[in-house]
Structure 1
Amino acid sequence: MCGIAGWLDWQRDMTGHAAVVSRMAETLALRGPDGAGVWSAPRIALGHRRLAVIDVDHGHQPMAVRATDDDREQAVVSFSGEIHNFRELRTELTAKGHRFRTGTDTEVLLAAHREWGETAVTRFAGMFAYALWDIAQETLWLARDPLGVKPLYYAEQPSGVIFGSEPKALFASGQVAAEVDAEGLVDVFTVAAKRPGDAVFRTMREVKPGHIVRCDRRGAHEQRYWQVRSAPHEDDIPTTVARVRELLGRAVTEQVHADVPLGALLSGGIDSSAITALGAGALSAAGLDPLATYSVDFAGSEEEFSADALHDSRDAPFVQAVVGHLGTKHTEVLVEPAALLEESRTTLRARDVPGVGDLDVSLYLLFREVRRHLTVALSGEGADDAFGGYPWFLSETKQPTDNFPWSAGVQDRNAVLSAQLRPHLDLHARLDARYREALSEVPRLEGETGTDRRMREVYYLQLTRFLPFLLDRKDRMSMANGLEVRVPFCDHRLVDYVWNVPWQVKRLGDQEKGLLRSAVEDLLPAEVVHRPKSGFPVGKGSAYLDSVRAAVSDMISDSGSPAMELLDATTLRAMVDNKDWFNGSFTPPPILPRALQLDSWLRDYQVRVVL
């Protein structure tokens, strides 16, 4: 999957700063454990860390493309991710006269830019981010895939721009400070409300999903190249079901190709089970070994599991049903609850910002075990967002909230804020402003009213605010283990089609994701096809809960705690004593573990709060 780092400066000779860019890239070593490289020229230095997945022996980066007549370098790229349709593009480019030295998608990317310029990005289907330097034009292009699966950050400087796959790479330049303002604190204290392009730190930006940023002597200029577009859906139901199956099947078939061990993450829900079934079928058709699958559970969950709004049932029985039906080679990863707090700082370093507590750690531990066996894993992320799987979708049809739907039931957000912080930060007011801003972006369909109009809004909020939160978590936890996780449901061709399918059709059979279930029902056991939505397992073991309470109590008593300058001690003590961590109808990530990460973040990153 790889890591990108670089520095463009119009006033420095960057050939003398290659060591700095190498240091920036080194911070991303976990993303790319298989190789490192730096390319420099007077105006720019590009760094790279490689995770070898395709053409393992010949994909060294940064990679350059040369002129056919005099062998001069024309462009160079540092690329992260995968272009899943690169084989198709390679065939097209070969017919146009391009020649290839490797079997990589990186070289196809370079040839595509040589053929089509910056519009080449519109032809890519995949999950990617890249920094491409056009030598003749002295122009840097920073691009990110349509759904934002792969990250890319940048910080404009007085004489250029510094960029990288994660904030830590920018900090390593020595030119970018770890500062957070009130808007950044909104992202710290809330979940899934970050505006596209925001990066928590006030000193940097994130390349927006579906955007390419042109960096030249005039500065950095964003250009959108992809967005969902609203239009009447004219296919009947059988045609719609067949089209979803076709598009999803194509995405999975493209994504099972790898020159390293590949498997799938399996929860026993319809999303991961559909991916597993299609992936197993693609491997079988190619005469390859059975698909390897992995699931996660918590030790003691059988005795301590309790259902809630996002967790209907334990995964294990449904996982076994899929494994038995498809004949996959399965491994269950059992997480000890005590490890959830122990590894909290590990996941903080992976994110560079406070995360979501045990939800991060359990995913990190799953990926750590999977990485012992695989380099690439397929995952079901994106299905709930495109097809309407979360419980708030149905709730919004009955009683619209006029807010981010996953925030329903949240009461006093500001209660957790210290008295010093509250005059500078009203979380309710800022979230409402962000919600209104998001609504103003929705691509409306003329004449759409009532439930259909509201559901188009909900799907847009989901794709542009909630899904990026999930994808960011998935990327950081997987890449901290050097594991590439591919997400077929985030193929923009599938998202484009499903976007305009009416809510009633997406809910065929009066069940969430009924359209998806109909598209794959012939591949899976009936109990899996009709299993209600159940979210990723969370840690509720008593030993873990007690350890978090004790740690928060210690933090409250610590006169040197930087977090307690931002947090209200009385509110936290009440949460510890009353054992009430949750706030809202849909059980958002609990506050106490996030408070501990806030304290570690402020200490470890020496964050300066600017209000």
Structure 2
Amino acid sequence: MCGFTGFIGETKNSSAVLETMMNQIIHRGPDSSGMFTENKAALGFRRLSIIDLESGSQPLYNEDESFVLIFNGEIYNFMQLREELIANGHLFVTHTDSEVLIHGYEEFGEKLVEKIRGMFAFVIWDRKNEKMFAARDMFGIKPFYYAQMNGTLLFGSEIKSFLPHPHFNKELNEKALKPYLTFQYPVLNETFFKGVFKLPAAHFMTYKNGQINIQRYWSPKFNPTKQPLEEIVDEIDQVVRESVEFHRISDVKVGSFLSSGVDSSYVASVLKPNKTFTVGFSDKNFSEIDNAKALSDELGIENVNEILSPDLCFDKLEDIQYMMDEPHSNPSIVPLYFLAELAKRDVTVVLSGEGADELFGGYAEYDTTNTMKKYKKLPTLIRKSLGVIAKRLPEVRGKNFLIKGGLSAEEWFIGQAKIFEEKEAQGILTNGYNNAPTVKEIVKPYYDQVKREDDVTKMQHLDLHLWLVDDILLKADKMSMAHSIELRVPFLDREVMKTAAKVPVKYRVNDLDTKFAFRLAAGRALPKESANRKKIGFPVPIRHWIREEKYYMKIKSHFESPQAAQFFDQQEIMTLLNSHYEGKKNNARKIWTIFMFLIWYKKYFN
């Protein structure tokens, strides 16, 4: 686990510029650094040592040094690939997983990405042909950003590494704000920095003679089989255990994040590390510590835990938003930041449970209750009419039921968060920030790929492309790397996905539970109570905090600032804040989303 940055283009004092860029991401790799500069090319690397601690520094080269590699991630099938490449005549000089990438590219070219089992973002520079090849893993576990500015291509693990380059233009992307207010995360491919883009998950990029070419190499597809339930459960349990074994490979200490949910519990029970790590808040409704400790005790594992105070959380909000690179308002980022800090005291690698919900159908939004099933027996025309009417209503009881019962997934589901309705977001923004892609324009390309699928599969497909990549995995990467710790996600594995794709919808979501077959598999390793426990989802008591005068005043100072006036109708956002503070409405998520943007903007632009 590391970080990289670099550029292709004529730059004065390129080595000094590259070193400054590398220092921006020293948190990603505090153990060592390395750089390559030649003609127009400059590749920089910061290392967090995990495998082959002595000789695993980068950049790495092939035998004749015609190719140069910088790489962030882990390749879990590197031993098998290494043996195949050695048999084909390639010479290895290290025992790292990284080196299989450079020899693999020599051997397989662009097809290399289809052979890798792991999480990765990497760059290979072809010195003879002056051509760059870059790729990002199939789920988007590791980040990759790029920008083409003033004759230079910039690329790296974090946007902040671009800031010192003399050709970088720092400018706010005014189209990013409105969608963010609805989705709570940076959902567009162009980031909040104008001209800076994300290389999408499961894509590779080539760059030569100033031309960028981007191609997709994999797409998630569900192909349910007619296997008996018991056989499916066997396969899930087998592939999860195998994946955890691959993900434990390390030359440093490995631990596990543990909440009260089935996903992280399953990982911890199979991994059986020496220590698990949990954080929570003093209010028991916002803490998973007791459940995590109980499971750890049962497994004979030490649970290291910490209760977080609101003062501590508010003091770190600026650092958190800085580390995220772009504004992000999922409240769970806050405890995740402190969880990574807690784990770093004891381990360098942690395993976590991200991805199981998207692959196996775990979110409550995927569920269809018995009441909903009865409602859906009404004529479609009646339900659709009521759904259309409900979408226009203010927030009243029963609104969501009528929408979900009357409209297709494409017409109401945008992922696991919806903060502001689109018209509401439009109403609080000043004129310059409403010229942005609509919510429908954002989700439509993904729904178009699964037109003939059932609604559950459609929702999973959308979440795999948007929510998982730009919310769940982005915060997991940025918050863990903020503390120089490697976070691994064994459910987001090529072979686990193959198994998940075979599970019929009725064994993903049914009358009994969400993630039905997966929970049965987890039950092979867990006590029944842990396997069936409902998802809490890293709860954070922001609605209570905002009703305390101290924190209300902090937020108010941002809402009344000149910076806020640039983006928002201050009267409207103060009405949101005051009605929440006075207990009239629960506007916590809306307030938090605005607040996080203002904190981020102040850090990067003021």
**Fold equivalence (TM over 0.5):** yes
Q: Tell me the TM-score normalised to structure 1 length.
A: 0.87
Answer yes or no: is 1:57 the counterpart of 2:54: yes
Closer/same/farther in 2, CA of residues 563 and 196 from structure 1, 3 Å limit: closer
Residues 365-401 of structure 1 show CA distances to partners (whole Å, capped at 9, x for unaligned) of: 1111111111000000011111121111115985245
Q: Which moved more, 1:395-404 or 1:315-324?
A: 395-404
Aligned pairs (5 A) from 1:183-194: 183-191=175-183
C-alpha distance in 1 between matches for 2:301 and 2:276: 6
C-alpha distance in 1 between matches for 2:127 and 2:184: 39
Partner of 1:297: 280
Q: Tell me the TM-score normalised to structure 2 length.
A: 0.87
TM-aligned CA deviation for residue 162 of structure 1: 0.9
- SS of 1:605's partner is helix
Query: 98, 102, 105: which is aligned to 1:113?
Result: 105
Tell me the amino acid that sits aligned with residue 30 of structure 2. Answer: P
Answer yes or no: is 1:379 the counterpart of 2:357: no
Partner of 2:29: 32
Q: Which moved more, 1:129-138 or 1:495-504?
A: 495-504
Partner of 2:193: 201
Partner of 2:382: none
The answer as to whether partners of 1:356 and 1:589 remain within 8 angstroms in 2 is: no
Query: 504, 519, 540: which is aligned to 1:517?
Result: 519
Residues 236-272 of structure 1 show CA distances to partners (whole Å, capped at 9, x for unaligned) of: 3222212211221121100111111110001121100
TM-aligned CA deviation for residue 83 of structure 1: 0.8
C-alpha distance in 2 between matches for 1:261 and 1:512: 34
Residues 56-95 of structure 1 show CA distances to partners (whole Å, capped at 9, x for unaligned) of: 111111111223xxxxx12111110111111221122222
Query: 556, 562, 566: which is aligned to 1:553?
Result: 556
Tell me the amino acid that sits aligned with residue 591 of structure 1. Answer: K
Query: 539, 544, 566: which is aligned to 2:541?
Result: 539
TM-aligned CA deviation for residue 476 of structure 1: 0.7
Aligned pairs, how many? 568
Q: Which moved more, 1:250-259 or 1:597-606?
A: 597-606
Closer/same/farther in 2, CA of residues 508 and 97 from structure 1, 3 Å limit: farther
Closer/same/farther in 2, CA of residues 562 and 593 from structure 1, 3 Å limit: same
The answer as to whether partners of 2:416 and 2:467 remain within 8 angstroms in 1 is: no
Answer yes or no: is 1:592 the counterpart of 2:591: yes
Tell me the amino acid that sits aligned with residue 440 of structure 1. Answer: D
The answer as to whether partners of 1:418 and 1:564 remain within 8 angstroms in 2 is: no
Closer/same/farther in 2, CA of residues 337 and 510 from structure 1, 3 Å limit: same
Residues 138-179 of structure 1 show CA distances to partners (whole Å, capped at 9, x for unaligned) of: 210111000000001011235341111111111221322232
Partner of 2:4: 4
The answer as to whether partners of 2:355 and 2:491 remain within 8 angstroms in 1 is: yes
Tell me the amino acid that sits aligned with residue 43 of structure 2. Answer: L
Partner of 1:310: none
Aligned pairs (5 A) from 1:309-324: 314-324=287-297
Partner of 1:466: 467
Query: 301, 311, 325: which is aligned to 1:352?
Result: 325
- Pairwise CA RMSD: 2.7
TM-aligned CA deviation for residue 527 of structure 1: 0.7
Tell me the amino acid that sits aligned with residue 376 of structure 1. Answer: V
Answer yes or no: is 1:17 the counterpart of 2:14: yes
Closer/same/farther in 2, CA of residues 544 and 410 from structure 1, 3 Å limit: closer
Query: 257, 260, 263: which is aligned to 1:265?
Result: 257
Answer yes or no: is 1:454 the counterpart of 2:437: no
Closer/same/farther in 2, CA of residues 410 and 19 from structure 1, 3 Å limit: closer
Partner of 1:425: 434
The answer as to whether partners of 1:22 and 1:37 remain within 8 angstroms in 2 is: no
- SS of 1:389's partner is coil
Aligned pairs (5 A) from 1:23-422: 23-67=20-64, 73-191=65-183, 195=187, 197-217=189-209, 219-280=211-272, 290-298=273-281, 300-302=282-284, 305=285, 314-356=287-329, 358-395=331-368, 399=405, 400-401=408-409, 402-406=411-415, 412-415=421-424, 421-422=430-431
The answer as to whether partners of 2:184 and 2:417 remain within 8 angstroms in 1 is: no
The answer as to whether partners of 1:195 and 1:465 remain within 8 angstroms in 2 is: yes
C-alpha distance in 1 between matches for 2:330 and 2:240: 32
TM-aligned CA deviation for residue 208 of structure 1: 0.9
The answer as to whether partners of 2:177 and 2:433 remain within 8 angstroms in 1 is: no
The answer as to whether partners of 2:447 and 2:458 remain within 8 angstroms in 1 is: yes
The answer as to whether partners of 1:178 and 1:605 remain within 8 angstroms in 2 is: no
C-alpha distance in 1 between matches for 2:182 and 2:239: 34
Closer/same/farther in 2, CA of residues 527 and 369 from structure 1, 3 Å limit: same
TM-aligned CA deviation for residue 231 of structure 1: 3.5
Closer/same/farther in 2, CA of residues 57 and 248 from structure 1, 3 Å limit: same
Tell me the amino acid that sits aligned with residue 131 of structure 1. Answer: V
C-alpha distance in 2 between matches for 1:420 and 1:157: 29
The answer as to whether partners of 1:416 and 1:567 remain within 8 angstroms in 2 is: no
The answer as to whether partners of 2:366 and 2:509 remain within 8 angstroms in 1 is: no
Tell me the amino acid that sits aligned with residue 472 of structure 1. Answer: L
What fraction of aligned residue pairs are identical, expressed as a percent? 27
C-alpha distance in 1 between matches for 2:185 and 2:546: 28
TM-aligned CA deviation for residue 438 of structure 1: 2.4
Query: 405, 428, 441: which is aligned to 2:449?
Result: 441
C-alpha distance in 2 between matches for 1:580 and 1:470: 29
Residues 195-253 of structure 1 show CA distances to partners (whole Å, capped at 9, x for unaligned) of: 57332322111111001100111501001111123545243322221221122112110
- SS of 2:99's partner is helix
Answer yes or no: is 1:572 the counterpart of 2:573: yes
The answer as to whether partners of 1:156 and 1:220 remain within 8 angstroms in 2 is: no
Tell me the amino acid that sits aligned with residue 301 of structure 1. Answer: D
TM-aligned CA deviation for residue 583 of structure 1: 13
Closer/same/farther in 2, CA of residues 423 and 541 from structure 1, 3 Å limit: closer
C-alpha distance in 2 between matches for 1:172 and 1:337: 34
Closer/same/farther in 2, CA of residues 484 and 582 from structure 1, 3 Å limit: farther
The answer as to whether partners of 1:507 and 1:513 remain within 8 angstroms in 2 is: yes
C-alpha distance in 2 between matches for 1:114 and 1:406: 40
